[in-house]
Amino acid sequence: MNIMWIKKVHIVGFGQFNQQTFDFVQGLQVVQGLNEAGKTTLHQFLFDMIFGFPQAKGRKINTYEPLDKGPYGGSMQFEVDHQLYELERLGRTQTVTTLTAVGSGQQFADPEAMLTKLLGPVDRELYLAIFSFDQEALMNIFSLKPDDFAAYLRTLATPGAQNWLEVANRWDKTATAKFGSTKTAHRELNQALANLQMQRQQLQNNLRQQPSLDKLQAEAQHLTQRVASLEQRQAQLQGQMNHQQAQVHLLPVYRRWQQIKQQVKATGKPLDLTAADKADRVRQQLTALDDVMVTTAVTKQQVESATVALRQLEKLENQQKNLAEQQVKAVQAQTALLEKYHWTQVPPLLTDQQKSQLGGQKETGQQSTKNSWLIIAIIISSLIIIGALLISHVAIGILLALISLLLGWWGSRQQKTNVVANTQQDLPAAYQQMATADIFAAQTDIQRINDMMLSNNQIIHDQQAMMSELVKMRAALNWLGEGLTVDEYRKRLADIHIKQETMGQQQLQRANLQQTLQELYQKLGVKDVAMLQQRRDAQRHINDLQREANMLEEQLKGADLHELAAQAAIATDDKPAMTDQQTILQRIQDEKNQLNQKLAEINVQLQNLQTDNTIEHQQQVVANQVAVVNQQLTQYFVDRLGSEWIKQALNAAIADRLPNLLAQAGTFLRQLTDNHYQTIQQTKTLLKVVRNDGKILGVNQLSKGTAEQLYVALRLAFVKNVTATLQLPLLIDDAFVDFDEQRRQTMLTLLADLASSEQQIFYFTAQKTQGKHVLTLTHQQ
């Protein structure tokens, strides 16, 4: 068995590839990339390395000339039966090919002959038909015939099959050249047969020329005609007897057929099964509807009252929520003010007298400070600067002047504090540690807090006033549930409303079904389901009788019904008539025996008359011609039978392989279609598939996607079927672009399973594929 594995290729120049090397695995090798990335180019390079670069060039032939006009070709390392070879092809039109066994370093003198030996019976066309396909090839399923696979199997399964087929074809041509099937053919065997017929006719003419011979022949002819007439009469009588016997056997069948027809006719109008089935369906719908009927004791008035109460409850709770938020804001403002002034509680507002007293002391302290401490500090600073100028120590003078001013400022502040402290002794404790300006600024905040406190009191009053109304609304909704939220009440009311609507619809639907059922019962002439069942049983019995009548009528087909009717009416026994006919037949047979004996005597006389040399010579000529014809016919049939024997022998070699191939393809098809299609059948020219419901479909009745799956299943089954003979790399170029994701994943799984048995598979695709052994091509390559 030849197992081929492509391990590595190095492309010197081919299409867009230049000095590019690719390594491949033995199992499933996925080559992915976007359009124009080079997938088809790599596919074609692998194929051309195996079978040679194309020599012709035209619009329909892409030779993949290098884009940079550089060298053309490359090399490929491949393994066949664990032996590593390296194949190199350089140049397109005058290709230089070398093939080397890597292990031994042997370079083969005739590389193409060695490649042919390694590939076995597979040539370029057979490889394209079996081991390479793309999206366009999938459409071939609509014209594919089982005989095509049989021819491929015969070539691959039997070594030397092609040579034997050539011998068979040559023998066919030789036989055809000797004998033509038409009357006007002028071939050797046709002319010999014509010559034999002419000589026999001449012999008969010579025999008829003798007077006694003519008389004997006339008498022999008369006897022969008489015998033929007796045989015709004998045949007629025998036919009549056979007919009568057949009629006798058919008579009980006819009587039973008539009896059933009368019973069926007496039953009257048949049951309308369509209306009966419809009545059963309507009754089943009523039963099912009763099982799911929705009921509720709540009235619409209750729902409407609860809806009004719910709206009022929602309104009151929203008001309560708004009042609570206002309270929280007031507390937050009060807390912020206490934190701002570091108070433990909000102090009272200053009286007008306290404000007046605090404001007058502030002005007096300021005036006193201006007239004492600051004035003294300015005078001293001036004197110090003047003295420093006189003694020429300006820096020291300035420094001392600044110190004097700072002391004056500190003294004024201290005097101010003392004045304020004296005034604050008459104020609340919260104001004791505050400056006068801060005390005045805080009065606005204290007034705002006081206003909020008054507002909170009003809020509390309002909340207490609403509480009784809230209790009243909740009491009105307690029948829906206690302690529920507004949304929960609303949901329960919605559920009750839906139940009420559903109940109304179901009641209406039930009434309609009841009316329809009564109308159907009236149409069928029954009162209830029991009577309908009785009518069904009666109709079933009538149907059984009708089927029996049809079978009896099939047995009576071709019989004379009028004769049977007459026999059935008289009910007589035909045995005496049969006995008379047998007596007549015996007399005819006796007369035939006498005539045949006399005819034999005349034939002996005719043979005795053929004693002259002319007749003898003519008979010898006829005999010689018969020998020539027999010899030529023998050779003709030898050629014909030899050719047929070779073809039958080759077909016998694959007798069980084509059914095995279709069985394997059926297994693959079940896997690809998720068991939707089960098996594949064949006729001589057609393929058919069996669906899981038992229906048989032709290929042209399948969807495009399923037909493509059938093609893939057949191709993969063929590859698997010939693995006992050879395993060559399988090249699949973007063949599944029309498959949906599920079909594509199933296809990849099937390819992976097939590749696990040492079958190398190249799958070129533009779709991104996850997994190992994935080679990604890019435009830069």
Q: pLDDT of 229-248, one tens digit each?
A: 888 887 887 776 777 666 67
Name the band, by pLDDT with cuts 50, 70 and 90, for residue 651: low
Query: What is the total residue count of the chain?
Result: 781
The amino acid occupying position 68 is D
Report the percentage of the chain scoring pLDDT > 70: 81
421-441 residue pLDDT tens: 555 556 777 777 788 887 888
Averaged over 734-761, what is the pLDDT? 83
**Assign residue 471 a region: left if phi > 0, alpha if psi is -120 to 50, beta otherwise?**
alpha
Indicate if 1 and 118 belong to the same structural domain: yes
8 Å CB contact between 760 and 6: yes
The pLDDT value given to residue 157 = 46
DSSP string, 125-194: HHHHHHTEEEHHHHGGGGT--HHHHHHHHHHHHSTTHHHHHHHHHHHHHHHHHH--SSTT--SHHHHHHH
Q: What is the count of structural domains for the chain?
A: 4
179 and 226 in a single domain? The answer is: no
Residue 725 sits at φ, ψ, to 5 deg, of -100, -50
Question: Which region among 25-34, 53-62, 151-160, 487-496 has the lowest average model confidence (pLDDT)?
Answer: 151-160
- The answer to whether residue 769 sits within a structural domain is yes
Question: Does 516 or 293 have the greater pLDDT score?
Answer: 516
Residue 188 has pLDDT above 60, yes or no: yes
Q: Give a yes or no: residue 763 inside a domain.
A: yes
Examine residue 79 and state whether it is found in any structural domain, yes or no: yes
Residues 180 and 255 in one domain: no
Coil/strand/helix, residue 73: strand
**Does residue 365 have a pLDDT over 50?**
no
Distance of CA 554 to the CA centre of its chain: 46
- One domain, residues 201 and 218: no
Residue 154 lies in a domain: no
Specify the pLDDT at position 21. 95
Q: Which amino acid is at 343?
A: W
Q: Point out which residues pair with 75 in neighbouring strands.
A: 10, 88
Question: Torsions phi, psi of 426, nearest 5?
Answer: -95, 0
Same structural domain, 14 and 42 = yes
Q: Is the dihedral of CA 57, 735, 715, 76 positive or negative?
A: positive
Phi-psi region of 29 (alpha: psi -120 to 50; beta: other; left: phi over 0): beta
Question: pLDDT confidence of 780, banded at 50, 70, 90?
Answer: low
Euclidean distance between the first and final Cα of the chain, in Å?
37
Same domain, 96 and 184: no
What's the rounded Cα separation, in Å, for the pair 487 and 480?
12
Considering only residues 395 and 71, tell me which one the structure prediction assigns the higher pLDDT.
71
Residues 34 and 107 in one domain: yes
Alpha carbon distance 172, 641 (integer Å): 9
Rounded Cα distance, 174 and 505, in Å: 89
**What are 291's two structure tokens?**
């099982």
Q: Which of 401, 426, 451 finishes a domain?
A: 426
Domain end marker among 652, 676, 708: 652
Range name among 273-287, 397-411, 421-435 with the lowest pLDDT average:
421-435
* Whole-angstrom Cα Rg for the chain: 60
- Overall average pLDDT of the 366-385 stretch: 63
Distance (Å, rounded) from C-alpha 40 to C-alpha 764?
Answer: 8
**Interatomic CA distance for residues 185 and 183, integer angstroms:** 6
Residues 622 and 747 in one domain: no
Residue pLDDT, tens place only, 5-50: 999 999 999 998 999 999 999 889 999 988 888 888 999 999 999 9
Residue 441 lies in a domain: no
Domain enclosing residue 414, as ranges:
351-426
Residue 646: partners with Cβ closer than 8 Å, 6 or more residues away: 164, 165, 167, 168, 171
For residue 488, tell me if it sits in a domain. Answer: no
Q: pTM for the full model?
A: 0.41
pLDDT in tens, 454-501: 887 878 887 777 888 888 888 888 888 888 888 888 888 888 888 878
Distance between CA atoms of 393 and 150, rounded to whole angstroms? 130
Mean pLDDT of the chain: 79
Residue 385 predicted with pLDDT over 50: yes
294, with CB counted inside 10 A (0-12, 13-18, 19+), is middle
Are 90 and 76 contacting, i.e. CB atoms less than 8 angstroms apart? no
Q: Residues 7, 126: one domain?
A: yes
Strands 96-101 and 83-90, by their bridges, are antiparallel
Give yes or no for residue 571 having a pLDDT over 60: no
Task: Name every residue whose Cβ is closer than 8 Å to that of residue 392 and which is 6 or more positions away in sequence.
Answer: none
Average pLDDT value for residue range 305-321: 83
Q: Is the pLDDT of residue 714 over 90?
A: no
Place 368 in a pLDDT band, splitting at 50, 70 and 90: very low
Boundary (domain end) residue, out of 600, 626, 652: 652
pLDDT tens for residues 66-101?
878 889 999 999 999 889 999 999 998 889 999 999
CA 260 to chain centre: 52
Question: Is there a single domain that holds both residue 571 and residue 593?
Answer: yes
Domain holding 127: CATH number?
Answer: 3.40.50.300
Residue 165 has what pLDDT? 61
User: Does 201 share its domain with 89?
Assistant: no
Confidence grade of residue 367 (pLDDT, cut at 50, 70, 90): very low
Question: For residues 169 and 639, what is the distance between their CA atoms, to the nearest angstrom?
Answer: 10
Phi-psi region of 82 (alpha: psi -120 to 50; beta: other; left: phi over 0): left
Is residue 89 located within the same domain as residue 204?
Answer: no
DSSP state letter for 374: I
- Calculate mean pLDDT across residues 643-671: 71
Strand order across the beta sheet in which 774-776 lies: 132-134, 730-733, 761-765, 28-32, 774-776
Q: What is the pLDDT of residue 141?
A: 63
Between 128 and 643, whose confidence is greater? Answer: 128
Give the lowest-confidence range in 324-328, 349-353, 776-780: 776-780
User: Is 359 part of a structural domain of the chain?
Assistant: yes
| For residue 321, pLDDT beyond 90 | no
The residue with greater pLDDT, 729 or 648, is: 729
Q: Is 588 a domain residue?
A: yes
**What distance in Å separates the CA atoms of residue 43 and residue 762, rounded to the nearest whole number?**
8
Give the list of residues 6+ apart from residue 163 with CB closer than 8 angstroms, or none. Answer: none
The average pLDDT across 644-658 equals 60
Q: Alpha-carbon distance 282 to 517, whole Å?
A: 6
pLDDT at 142: 61
